[in-house]
Chain A
């Protein structure tokens, strides 16, 4: 019997192949539930056999053969059921599997099919995220639930409903046609971006979960970039994630407070992630399209390439934010642009941009948006409008949901008060 530690190690090896094997099973059998059950069986079988026989040279191939066998067993069992509809369907799947199954040494990479299916716009966004992490990421239901701070039962139900929708509406397990490609790839990137942001933001409190979400998003983006080599936005998203993740060890101070980018200890930035990120951005820039992710990655690169905080090229960054705003005029972009303008051309320039936002439809959304107030407060502080800055900091603190950010804002507010005497 394997000890707990070696069982965990074997489990990790098996799960690393999850995306690849599951994707192949789904492509062969056309049924996600069946694929997941067969996969579970295969992993359990591995945990019995590998301690005795040793880990196979190609775990993916071993697991695929085992899972395929189990899937066929399950289908045969289902085909003999009294429920005619279920039996009929099982029989169909068996026939289809027999037609499409090739004796292959290594499973063909069907992950592209699976990721497009999991990220189909017909599924609710939360379900797309959960399904992607579960099937392609190989994360357990518990791990995904923990990362998003929901009860396991909630997440299990979310996954169930998503799979039910795939069945009932017949969402196909297929790479989209060229006509649909643009919209569908954008949907995939949005899911990966969301996963990364969830890990990167400080709202998820468990640092290990946060880290694993970022790692997972990067891993999936890397795989996607390899599967779709000519696409600039895919590589740009990978670059963006890497350049942010590179700073993860410098983002928080000893008391857990947030350290702004230009004050971070650059020695703690991870050079390998920066190198990979910059390489991905260069590759993206060589592709035909220049989209929002590429501009965001360029901004991140501008920050990261500055030798010190005071060398930050704020004018260039402000110009990039103006470009980003034309592509994606969201509140967060417009606030960040105001911050950059404030640094590039003085706080009044930044405040003018924020004032523009204050009127109209944008205003209602912004009032409840903590970063708006934080940016506003910072610009007012720099402009010497202390009393207004205090009010803005207080509003920001009240609305802030993340502890590290709240602490940072509180210390900024305290700094104001002490200066005012």
Chain B
């Protein structure tokens, strides 16, 4: 069964640019290592790193129309930074991988199963 791991990270915008960049590249190195482990274990399906919320656009229903506006679904402190899809036998296996994800140390990782794949 597939599980989506959704990464909600604290914003780095308050840090000076140089420090921000250093942290991000460190994290990317660690994420690549984590992904290599996932691939080796045969559980990796896909990953998508998302651009920041400044690049987000939302569509919302208003009356009979669908309106386009700037910004994410919700203004939250932690921001959806990306997601990863894994194929795991059960929740404990998915949680095990999520715990090893470097992003779990700095933000929240939501683990959500795919719809309707019971058994």
Binding site for B on A (CB under 8 A): 85, 89, 92, 120, 122, 167-172, 174, 176-177, 179-180
Contact = CB atoms under 8 A, between A and B. Distances in A.
B91 A92 contact: no
Q: Which 5 A-B pairs have the closest CB atoms?
A: A172-B90, A170-B90, A169-B91, A169-B113, A171-B91
B119 interface: yes
A174 B92 contact: yes
A167 B118 contact: yes
B118 A172 contact: no
A89 B89 CA distance: 16
B92 A168 contact: no
B79 to A, nearest CB: 24
B38 interface: no
B91 A89 contact: no
A176 B90 CA distance: 12
- Band of interface residues on B: 10 to 19
Contacts of B119: 89, 92, 170
A170 B90 CA distance: 5
Contacts of A85: 116, 118
A168 B118 contact: yes
Nearest to A93: B119
B91 A122 contact: yes
Nearest to B119: A89
A177 B90 CA distance: 13
Contacts of B1: 170
Contacts of A168: 113, 118
A92 B119 CA distance: 8
A174 B90 CA distance: 10
24 contacts: A85-B116, A89-B118, A89-B119, A92-B119, A122-B91, A122-B95, A167-B118, A168-B113, A169-B111, A169-B113, A170-B1, A170-B89, A170-B91, A170-B118, A171-B90, A171-B91, A172-B89, A172-B90, A174-B90, A174-B92, A176-B92, A177-B92, A179-B96, A180-B96
